[in-house]
A = this chain, B = another copy of it.
Amino acid sequence: MKKKLSLVTIVTEGILKEQFSELLQENGASGFTITRAEGQGSRGLRARDWEGPNLRFEAIVSSAAADQILAAVEKKYFESYSVIAWVSKVEVVRGEKFVGEENV
């Protein structure tokens, strides 16, 4: 009944909403949740990093899809945008609906 999956969380700039929605879906997330967030960084973050609203994306995916999402985020956004991304292990009820065929 419960399935072990990966929870990917990404906090990024609000203007990237469409791009990250597409990135998640293209890399194996069948759905995701967005909450509005505010961020603050003091060290090693650019001044503009945390101005304006941020968005916090969450997606439950297979371990393979989590790796794929993180690689895509790193490749496309880390150079030029403010992005934080992390993965944690979770147990999900009806987990099978979060794992697309390409990620089983």
Complex CA–CA separation, A54 to B11 (angstroms): 18
A interface secondary structure, majority: strand
Q: For residue A76, which residues in chain B have a CB less than 8 angstroms away from its CB?
A: none
Complex CA–CA separation, A94 to B5 (angstroms): 22
**CB proximity of A59 to chain B, nearest CB, Å:** 10
| Contact yes or no, B42 A25, CB < 8 A | yes
| Contact yes or no, A39 B43, CB < 8 A | no
Complex CA–CA separation, A87 to B93 (angstroms): 9
- Tally of A interface residues using CB under 8 Å: 45
Of the candidates B31, B54, B73, which one forms a contact with A39 in the assembled complex, judged by CB atoms under 8 Å apart?
A: B31
Known: A9-B90, A30-B41, A32-B39. 9 other contacts (CB 8 A): A31-B43, A33-B37, A33-B54, A34-B38, A35-B36, A35-B56, A73-B93, A74-B94, A88-B90
